[in-house]
Structure 1
C-alpha cells in the first residue's frame, strides 16, 4: 500500500496507516497463538516495508514543514527579455521552483512577480532582499520590498523599490525571497541567482526608458488643451489690464511662462497672434496706441522667454470689437484685454478686419 508522504491527502494516509496496523496485529496474534514462523515470513517482509515507509514519511515531513533554505543552482539561471506595445518583461526561464519576472508598463510602474509551483502553503508575508553573490567575501543582505499575503497563494507581486532591485542586479547582486507564515515551521527562503542576466537586463532597461519617453510625450500632448486659462476650442488666452496699466504683473508673467512651455511642447504651433484692445475711455487714436503698446508688451515677454520673433504677430484694434458693454465699469474691464491665439500649421491666419465680424454684428455682452 502506497502512503502519500507529501501530506496532500491526509485522509487517505490515515486510512492506509489504519489498514497496515490492522493487518499487523492480526498476523501478530496468529503468530503468538500458533507459533508458525515460516508461514508468516511474508508478513515480516511487509512489516519491515511498513516500518521503512513510516521512517521515510517522518523524515520527509520534517523537511517539508521545517525552515527551508532553497538555493537555486546557477546553471538554472537563464533570463529572457520580451517586449510588447505597452510593457516590457524580464523573465526567468523554467526555474524548478516557479517563475520570477520583472514587468514595466508605459507609466513606469515596475513590478516583480513571483509565481511559485508550491500550493497549500499558509504564508502571511513575503520579503524581497538583495544579497552579494556567493563568491563575494562579505555576506551583505538587505531587505528592499515586502508584501502582505492576506489571501495566501503561490503568486504575489512586489511593487516598491523594484528600480533599486534592478540597479543592484546590474551591479552583480543576487535576490533572496523570504516567506513567513503564522507558524514558523512554514518559513522558507529562496535564493535566486542572477547570472546570465546582463544582456536581457540591458534590453529590458532600454525598453523601459523608451516606453517612459513615449508616454511622457503622449501625456504632454493630451494635457496641452487642459490648461485652465486656455480656451480649448480656439486655443486662446486672454490677459486683462487694469485702467492705465502699462506694465505686466507677476501673475501675468507666470501665465505667459506657462503658455510658452505649452508652445514649446506643441510643435504644431507656428504662429502666435497677439491682439490688443481697450475700452472706449479717451480718444480712439490714443486707445489704438495703448492697445498696441500692451500687445507689444506681451510679445516682448514671449520673446524674452525664448519664442522667436517671427512666430509672433502683433495686431492693435483700440476700442473696436468690444466683448462687453462699455456702459459699466465691469464691461470696460473685460474690454481692456490682450488675446493670444495659437495658430497651428494646418490653419490659416484670418486678417484682423475679418476675424471679428461676428462681434461687430452685435455679439457683445451687455
Structure 2
C-alpha cells in the first residue's frame, strides 16, 4: 500500500501546470458517515475546497454531490470520471458523462446511475474526478481518493439498512384502494398504510392526516356517500390503532364525486373506490400565557 501512495504522489506531481487540482493529502484522507432514518451520507472532505459526498435519501438510490465552501468553480460544464489508479496498468479512466456546475454550496447532484458506477469504481481503487472547463479554456479538477474507503463503505451500508422505506415526498399522498367494493382494508391497503405509519412515528413534525373517501357510481347517491364514509373511517381506525390521536385526523367523504377515472367499466370503477390519504405538517398551537398570579386549571390539585 505504501508503494501505491508513492505512485499516487508522483502522478499528482506530473499533472499539467494549467490544471488546478483540489484534493486532500494522502495522510489526511478520511471518509465520514453521517445519517439517520431519513438520509445517509458518505463524505470525503476536500482541503481548501469543500467535500464530495454520496447522499442516499429514504426510498431512493444514492447520488453523488460536490459541495464547495466558496465559488471556486464557475458555472458551466464539467465531466465526471471514475479515474483509474496508476498502479492498474492498461486501465483507462471511465467517462461517466457531463455535468452542469451551478451556483451555491451544492455545485451539482449526479444521477443515481453515475453514483452507482462511482461506488463500483471506488471499490476497484478508482477515484471520483470532476474535470471543469472554464470559458477561458483553463481546466480545474476536484479529486476524491479511494484510500480507507472500504471500511467507511461498510458503515455507510449499515446506515442505509436502517432507512425508512420512503421519504416524505413519496409518502405524503397515497391512494388506498377498495377494489372489491367493500369497506374492509385488504392486505395491499394495510401494507401501504403501514409504510405511512412508520414515517409518522419517525417524524413527529408530520402531525396531521387528511382522509377523503370515495365510491364509484353504482347504486344511489346516499348509499355511495355512506360507503365512502365507512371506507374513510376504516383508514382512520387503522391510524388510531397504530398510535395516532383522533384529533390529528380529518375525515371527509364525497361519495361518487371526483372520480379518478370515468365510471365506464369495471376496472375504472375499481380505481374510484378509494380513500385519499394526505400527511401534513401543521404548526403546533401556541399556548396562551396565564395572567400573573393565576394558576392554570390543569395544575390545580
TM-score, normalised with respect to structure 2? 0.49
Structure having the higher helix fraction is 1
User: RCO greater where, 1 or 2, for CA within 8 Å and sep 6 or more?
Assistant: 2
Q: Compare CA radii of gyration and give the structure with the larger one.
A: 1
The two structures have a TM-score, normalised by structure 1, of 0.42
